[in-house]
Every structure is written in C-alpha cells, then in structure tokens.
C-alpha cells in the first residue's frame, strides 16, 4: 500500500527545510565549501524532481477540482515552481562559494518557503477534504515512481513550465 501523496509532499518539504538549514550552517565555514556545493547540488536536483513530480501527478487532479474552476491555486503553484527553478538556474551559473552563489541560494530558499507554506494551506489541505485516501494513495504510488525514474533530476532540465500553458494543457 502506497503512502498518501499529500504526506509524501510534506515529507519532501521537511527534507528541503532541513537541507536549507544545513546550508545556512555551512555558509560560515570556508573549510566546508565542498560540502556546501554538494548539499546545494543535491538539494536543487531534488527540488526539480519534486516540482516536476507534482506537476505530473498532483496538480492535474488539483486543477480539475470542481471547487476551483479557474484552477487559480494550481496556476499560482506552477508560477512558484518556475520562481524556484529560476533561482536554481541562477545559482548553477555562479561560482560555488561566491557571494552571488549564496544570494541565488537565498533567493531559492525564499521562493521555496513562500511556495511550501502556500501549497500546504491552499493546495494540500483543500485537496484532502475533497478526495479519498485510496485516490491519494494511487497518486502517491505514481509520485514515488516518477521520483525514482528521475532521481537526481535525470531527464529533467529545470526549464519553466509557464503557469497559463500548464493549466490550459491539464484542464482541456
Ligand atoms: Fe510544489
């Protein structure tokens, strides 16, 4: 029996928060720069896998919910995912350990925190109220499978999804 997709998303959020916290600690330690680079690389890839997995297996159902005809919460979430991606791309373009690198990571952290809290209250909570546990477990299995197929962001390119185009594609 697979886990409920909303709980799997929360577990990822918890991991993201802990990784950003570790990066904050590594920031002041020049001897651990290599470690910071690795932590960031793994974190950025996981953020991309997570966002893409949601776009594949959570937000299509979210966007088609009867109580959200315009899919505004979904549009907002995909826009947030694009902000997170933009900040990650920015960090990838900078030299590890540079001021610009750290500030791109801060930007990513900020965009991700904003998104996670909105997603938890505006998406996950309402979704749970209108769906069955069995359905959420079915999505959970697909979410997990997507994550393992794309582990380390394999086959994903950090490119923007564009909220309008996304909503149109999944609701047509
Ligand atoms: Fe998300």
- How far is it, in rounded angstroms, from Cα 136 to Cα 147? 16
Residue-averaged pLDDT of the chain = 94
> In the prediction, which pLDDT does 67 show?
65
Using the mean position of ligand 1's atoms as its centre, give its distance from the Cα of residue 161 in Å: 13
Using the mean position of ligand 1's atoms as its centre, give its distance from the Cα of residue 18 in Å: 17
> In the prediction, which pLDDT does 69 show?
65
Model confidence pLDDT, tens digit, residues 134-169: 999 999 999 999 999 999 999 999 999 999 999 999
- How far is it, in rounded angstroms, from Cα 85 to Cα 45? 10
> In the prediction, which pLDDT does 2 show?
85
Model confidence pLDDT, tens digit, residues 29-75: 989 999 999 999 999 999 999 999 999 999 999 888 766 667 888 99
Residue that has been written with the tokens 């802990």 in this structure: 18
- How far is it, in rounded angstroms, from Cα 63 to Cα 117? 18
Using the mean position of ligand 1's atoms as its centre, give its distance from the Cα of residue 81 in Å: 6
What are the boundaries of each domain within the chain? 5-171
């Amino acid at each position: 029996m697979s886990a409920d997709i909303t709980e799997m998303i929360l577990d990822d959020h918890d991991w993201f928060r802990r990784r950003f916290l570790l990066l904050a600690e590594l920031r002041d330690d020049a001897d651990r720069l290599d470690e910071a680079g690795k932590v960031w690389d793994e974190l950025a890839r996981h953020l991309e896998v997570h966002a893409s997995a949601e776009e594949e297996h959570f937000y299509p159902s979210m966007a088609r919910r009867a109580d959200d005809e315009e899919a505004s919460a979904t549009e907002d979430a995909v826009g947030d995912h694009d902000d997170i991606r933009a900040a990650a791309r920015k960090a990838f373009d900078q030299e590890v350990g540079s001021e610009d690198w750290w500030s791109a990571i801060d930007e990513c952290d900020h965009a991700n925190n904003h998104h996670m809290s909105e997603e938890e209250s505006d998406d996950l909570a309402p979704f749970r109220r209108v769906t069955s546990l069995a359905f959420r477990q079915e999505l959970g299995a697909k979410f997990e499978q997507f994550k393992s197929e794309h582990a380390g962001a394999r086959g994903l390119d950090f490119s923007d999804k564009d909220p309008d185009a996304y909503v149109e594609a999944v609701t047509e």
